[in-house]
Amino acid sequence: MDLTEILRDATEMIGCESPSADLAAVARSADVVAAVGARRLGSEPERIVLDGRTHLRWRVGAGPSRVLLLGHHDTVWPLGSLTTHPCTVEGGVLRGPGCFDMKAGLAMAFHAAAGLDGVTVLVTGDEELGSPSSRALIEDEARAAEAALVLEASAAGGALKTERKGVSLYEVAVKGRAAHAGLEPERGVNATLELAHQALVVARLGDPAAGTTVTPTAARAGTTSNTVPAEGACAVDVRVRTAAEQARVDRAMRGLAPVLDGALVEVTGGPNRPPLDAASSADLFARLCRSADRLDLPEPTSAAVGGASDGNFTAGVGTPTLDGLGAVGGGAHADDEHVLVEELPDRTALLRALVVDLLAGPGGRP
């Protein structure tokens, strides 16, 4: 694989900022990604605009599609980030907003799929928001594929992400009754206290032995310092390894009851992404290891991670899924976001070898 061309494509995409919440920015980024992809894949993508967000899909080759390569071009970085975090390649390190998560992975996907027959490349524009508009599109493409390969960045040391926790997101809203905090606080129903009780109950739903975390996060309550709060709310982040744990926590969340007399509790939200369990990726990871051996590359490693991706959706519909096939580096969403340049050619060659192996059928290449 030609490192110079991979870097050219990656830096061109990094140079167009694409914060998820800015529809115009995502549309501009889609134009750049489409041009890069067309240059490598030999055809223009289908543009799919859902709720104002631009997604891109290529059908590579004339035959029926069997392998899905999946990525996203939106990032968490606001407009203007290139001023403070310019796109550079120095000392063997690529930097810039979204380089690791995950525009270098998009460049890898385009180079790996070029000239093959039977591959779909899907690049979405709202992954960092939880894929609200693209989820159904992703799931439909996954159902039609024999395997989904996700170009999200690798785990530490280049490890593949063979397990991802499922995610549920909730808001716990409480209502009390306002009163003057100095004159007659006893006439109020304190929403801050009710919210504190609920946060403690919610936190106890976690199960470290099962890998389940239930974390109250952003909270608010009250209006002024001298008023018993009449309302409040708290966000809750849930991460689980199994569908059974996701269902258990969901039942418990929906069963929350007020502790203080006169208070009301309302729970909204629910499961956002199903778990990507080890069984979903085991065969693909084994095939990747065989491909690495054929290419005389180091044996790949694997990791279970708490973060979620669109790979959770592909696995959730029953499609074998391997995630973390993208760039090696670190600092996703952070000031130190970076990609190790020397890893890009071999990593891309390994991805292509896996795709070729999958296209050869169940037994793969001899």
What was the pLDDT predicted at 107? 98
**Distance, CA of 42 to CA of 40 (rounded, Å):** 6
**Distance, CA of 173 to CA of 227 (rounded, Å):** 18
346, 9, 140, 290 alpha-carbon torsion, rounded to 10°:
-10
Q: What domains, with CATH codes, occur in the chain?
A: 3-164+276-359 (3.40.630.10), 166-273 (3.30.70.360)
Exposure of 183 by Cβ count < 10 A (0-12 exposed, 13-18 middle, 19+ buried)? exposed
What was the pLDDT predicted at 364? 58
**Distance, CA of 320 to CA of 82 (rounded, Å):** 37
Please report where in the chains the tokens 């100095």 appear, as a residue: 182
Please report where in the chains the tokens 């992703």 appear, as a residue: 138
The SS3 of residue 83 is: helix
What was the pLDDT predicted at 365? 57
**Distance, CA of 316 to CA of 227 (rounded, Å):** 47
Query: Which element (helix H / strand E) includes 289?
Result: helix 278-294
What does the chain come to in residues? 366
- Beta-strand pair 119-124/67-72: parallel
Please report where in the chains the tokens 């795709």 appear, as a residue: 355
What was the pLDDT predicted at 63? 81
Tokens of 333: 């969403």
Please report where in the chains the tokens 């990507």 appear, as a residue: 276
Please report where in the chains the tokens 């590579």 appear, as a residue: 60
Taking residue 365's Cβ as centre, other Cβ atoms within 10 Å add up to 14
**Distance, CA of 264 to CA of 364 (rounded, Å):** 59
What's the DSSP call for residue 205? Answer: T
**322 CB-near residues (< 8 Å, 6+ apart):** 147, 148, 149, 150, 160, 162, 281, 284, 285, 288, 311, 354
Query: Which element (helix H / strand E) includes 191?
Result: helix 191-203
What was the pLDDT predicted at 95? 97
pLDDT, tens digit, 9 for 90 and up, residues 29-82: 999 999 999 999 999 999 999 999 999 999 998 888 999 999 999 999 999 999
Of the candidates 30, 37, 193, 17, the residue with the CA atom closest to the CA atom of residue 108: 37
pLDDT, tens digit, 9 for 90 and up, residues 133-150: 999 999 999 999 999 999
Tokens of 317: 């519909």
**Distance, CA of 85 to CA of 95 (rounded, Å):** 8
What was the pLDDT predicted at 21? 93
- DSSP string for 307-349: ---THHHHHHTT--EEB--S--EE-TTSTT-EEEGGGHHHHHH
Exposure of 43 by Cβ count < 10 A (0-12 exposed, 13-18 middle, 19+ buried)? exposed
- Amino acid letter, residue 80: G
- 222 contacts 294 by C-beta, under 8 angstroms: no
What's the DSSP call for residue 28? Answer: H
- 212 contacts 238 by C-beta, under 8 angstroms: yes
List the chain residues with pLDDT less than 70: 363-366
